[in-house]
Each structure stands twice: as structure tokens, then as C-alpha cells.
Amino acid sequence: MGSLSRKALTFQGGAVLLLLIGIFASAGNTHAGVGLTIQPLKVSHTVNPGESVSGAIQIINASDDAVDVETKVEDFVPLAGTYNIQFVGRAPGITTVRDWITLDAPKSFALAKGATKDISYTIQAPSNAEPGGHFGVAFFKASQLPKGGQQLKVGTQVGMLILVTVPGSHLEKGRILDFSGPLFVKRSPIHFTIRFENTGTVHFEPKGTITITNMLGKEIGSVGVGGQVVLPTGTRDLAASVSFEGVLAGRYKANVKMFDGDGNELTAETIAFYAFPIWYAVAFLVTVVTLFFLFKLLKRNVRISISRKT
């Protein structure tokens, strides 16, 4: 696979892949912007070998003018231990997910200003499809249609992630690489971060729960964790915040448990933190100091009055 052509691309949680292709304009001229929007940003399908599944993509021309739209599908693989993905060139004699995906649209078509086009797609898994995860991107590149003698070409590219799972001997497994939070807190909410690594063979959305217990082992709060797909060999930071009512003081434990898509526990971690309500402490200290000096003042006045009577 090292001989294949590759292009690295940062993948931020299923966001639109927006690439500036190029801007070529004559000096002194002002030109309209070119842009597309796409829905959905990501789809996930389970397809048995030899079977197919279909869906639809909506493309909207958000440009200031009509555009020419080019379509293509590319394969990608996750980069191990990162948030990134890597596009992979076609290998001779090998069928990949780009060959499984058919877009019901020509390779190039015109789209009027503000127009919307629904494009259906079909994913046909071959009968010998390997169990596990297979990943691709359906790209749509917009270029401004030339006007008169203008030599202008502005292009933007958006893509929809296509995540395919072929059932079989695949695994949903993972582990917590790091569970972190503040060591000292004054009040809630308390923010935690879980760095989760997918050690299985398919993409899935890990879900979990953070539970907070006090020094007596009593549960005082909990919050759910999840909402992010993690690709095989990839990692992702999952964030969660826990809020409490009342004053926090002393030592607490935060325990996180992560589960697969079927609810089976995958991994767990525990950390400790300390709560010190500084404003309550300052108020208490001010009260103590005030009472101390007030007591000394009263004590001195009482002694003086007694000596005068004798």
C-alpha cells in the first residue's frame, strides 16, 4: 500500500470537508463567490455481502451565480492514533468502497444560483466483501461557469463521509487512553475529557457514563458520554461536564465506564479531585477574624468597667 498515492486530510468530527481548490482572477476585477452546501455530512450503513442499500444527498448552490459541479468518490483510511484520515489511491485488481458506491448523477452538471439538487446513491457490497469497516467520501466540486472572455475559475469542494460496515467477524472494541479533569475545583460544573481509542475493526459510537462519588462512597451525580463516531485505529476526545447542587468540599472520585453499541462494557477508569469552596472559606475566615477582634474589644471594655467600680 506504500506505493499508493496518498493525501493527508484532517478530519474534525464529521464536519464538511471544505477545500480551497484555486483562485485565478484578473487584476482589478471583483468576482462573485462560489460555494456549495451539502446534507447530510455523514452517513453510516450496514450492508451484507451481495446486498445493497440506498440513500440521498442534497446539494445546494450557495454561490452568487450558476456553477458547474463535478462529482467523484474516493476511498480513505483512518490514520492510527489520530483524528486524521488519509485518502488512498486505487490499486490495480482490488475492489474498494469507491467501486461499491454509485451516484445517480453525471460526472459534471450545471446548478443554477440558489438551486437544490437531490442525488441518490447506491452502495452495492460484492459477494466477497470482507467483514469490517469500509470508508469513502462522495466529493462535489463547484466551479464558476465562465462568462464572456473571463479567465476566472474559483472552486470549492465539499464531501459526504460514507461509513460502511460489512457484518461478520468484526469487533467493536476500544480503550481509554486518558481520563482527565481538574485536580482542584471551587464549584460545578466540572469538565472532564476522555481520550478513547478504537481498537476494533469497525467504526462505532462509544457511549459511557461518568459517576461522581464523595468521601463516603455515595453517588452525588452522573452524566452521559458519547455522540462521536471513532474510526478503527483512530482516537477521539470525548467531553462531558457534571453539575451539582449545593456546596462541594473534600475529596471526590470520578469513574467513567465506556460501552460498545450493544451495551457491553469495554473499559473503565477512575480519577480523584478535590473541592475547596474558596469564597465560603474566605467568608468563614472573615467571620472568625471579626469575632476574634470583637471578643478582644469586649473583653478589654469589661475589665475597665470592673476596675472603676473597685
CATH number for the domain that contains residue 178: 2.60.40.10
Q: Is residue 51 part of a domain?
A: yes
Beta partners for residue 109, in sequence order: 69
* DSSP three-state, residue 292: helix
* DSSP three-state, residue 172: coil
Q: What is the pLDDT of residue 21?
A: 28
Q: Assess contact for 76 and 87: CB atoms under 8 A.
A: yes
How far apart CA 135 and CA 152 sit, in angstroms, is 34
Compute CA 247 distance to the chain's CA centroid, rounded to the nearest angstrom: 32
Same domain, residue pair 39 and 56: yes
Same domain, residue pair 187 and 158: no
Q: What is the pLDDT of residue 243?
A: 87
Q: Is residue 99 part of a domain?
A: yes
Q: Assess contact for 151 and 109: CB atoms under 8 A.
A: no
Cell output for 175: 480503550
- Is the bond leading into 106 cis (omega within 30 degrees of zero)? no
Direct distance between the N- and C-terminal alpha carbons of the chain, in angstroms, rounded to an integer? 106
Q: Is residue 306 part of a domain?
A: no
Same domain, residue pair 125 and 60: yes
Same domain, residue pair 150 and 231: no
How far apart CA 31 and CA 64 sit, in angstroms, is 9
Q: Is residue 288 part of a domain?
A: no
The maximal CA–CA distance of the chain, rounded, in angstroms, is 116
How far apart CA 231 and CA 239 sit, in angstroms, is 17
CB atoms closer than 10 angstroms to residue 196: 26
Distances (CA, A) of 180 to 174, 197, 251, 256: 17, 15, 16, 10
DSSP 36: E
The tally of domains found in the chain comes to 2
Q: What is the pLDDT of residue 7?
A: 38
Say whether pTM exceeds 0.85.
no
Cα dihedral value 24, 25, 26, 28, nearest 10: -140
Compute CA 48 distance to the chain's CA centroid, rounded to the nearest angstrom: 28
Cell output for 123: 452502495
DSSP 31: -
Q: What is the pLDDT of residue 27?
A: 29
Q: What is the pLDDT of residue 78?
A: 81
Q: What is the pLDDT of residue 12?
A: 34
Which candidate, 247, 267, 275, places its Cα nearest to that of 182?
275
Same domain, residue pair 255 and 211: yes
Checking DSSP bridges between strand 19-24 and strand 190-198, what pairing results, if any? unpaired
Q: Is residue 282 part of a domain?
A: no
DSSP 230: B
Residue 145 exposed, middle or buried by CB count within 10 Å (0-12, 13-18, 19+): middle
Same domain, residue pair 135 and 27: yes
Q: Which one of 133, 166, 199 terminates a domain?
A: 166
Q: Is residue 242 part of a domain?
A: yes
Q: Is residue 74 part of a domain?
A: yes
Residue ranges in the chain modelled with pLDDT below 70: 1-34, 90-94, 147-154, 278-286, 301-310
Q: Assess contact for 126 and 100: CB atoms under 8 A.
A: yes
Same domain, residue pair 207 and 151: no
Q: Assess contact for 156 and 21: CB atoms under 8 A.
A: yes
Task: Note down the domain range covering 75.
Answer: 6-166
Q: Is residue 82 part of a domain?
A: yes
Q: What is the pLDDT of residue 77?
A: 84
What one-letter code names the amino acid at 248? L
Same domain, residue pair 218 and 234: yes
CB atoms closer than 10 angstroms to residue 199: 15
